[in-house]
Amino acid sequence: MSELTSIARPYAKAAFDFAVEAKAIDSWLNQLTFAAEVAKDVTVNSYISGGASVEQSLTLFLSVCGEQVDSQGQNFLKVMAQNERLLVLPYVLEQFIALKADFDKEIHVDVTSAVEVTAEQKTTLSAALEKRLARKVKLNCTVDVSIVSGLVIKAGDMVIDGSVKGKLNRLATTLQS
């Protein structure tokens, strides 16, 4: 997977740079989302990877995408097709979304708690995290009763484990050392 991510990165960067310049980030996001779904389709995927020529692959791909992709998007897909990279479109989309989040100075934060987090708690937590991370925060809250109490917060590479389960695991590790 890391190889596909590495292949997708320059395409995503080029698409994102063009979208920023054209002030059409949301339009490009929609086009890439649609194209990535087309690339994931089993029939399209097997046709493209089954040895079809670049022209045949591109013709099929563009006919399926139809009006969902504008002329600049079609040119982008042509370049990808010529380099035989249409199958990495889902990874291009992933990278594009990451670039957009960085551009918008926002971060997705996963919050796991033992009980449902109330709207008031979400507001307080979101404000505290925005202050600490200096970004707009989008919370994704889930419930996991196995953590007993407290919260586990994951934002990018940062993990804050304030759960009872985490504290007990750290205590057990310390006692075993």
What stretch of H or E contains 121? helix 119-133
Tens digit of each residue's pLDDT (9 = 90 or more) over 99-147: 999 999 999 999 999 999 999 999 999 999 999 999 999 999 999 999 9
Burial class of residue 109, CB neighbours in 10 A (0-12, 13-18, 19+): buried
pLDDT recorded at residue 60: 87
CATH architecture of the domain with range 2-102: Orthogonal Bundle (1.10)
Same fold, 2-102 and 106-176: no
CB within 8 A of 29, min separation 6: which ones?
19, 96, 97, 100
C-alpha 111/C-alpha 139 separation (Å) is: 7
Structure confidence at residue 54 (pLDDT): 84
Question: What fold characterizes domain 106-176?
Answer: hypothetical protein PF0899 fold (3.30.2320)
pLDDT for 130 equals 95
The domain locations on the chain are 2-102, 106-176
Record the tokens describing residue 139, joined without a space: 């919370």
CA geometry: angle 89, 154, 122, nearest 5 deg: 110
What string of H, E and C letters represents the secondary structure of 20-49? HHCCCHHHHHHHHHHHHHHHHCHHHHHHHH
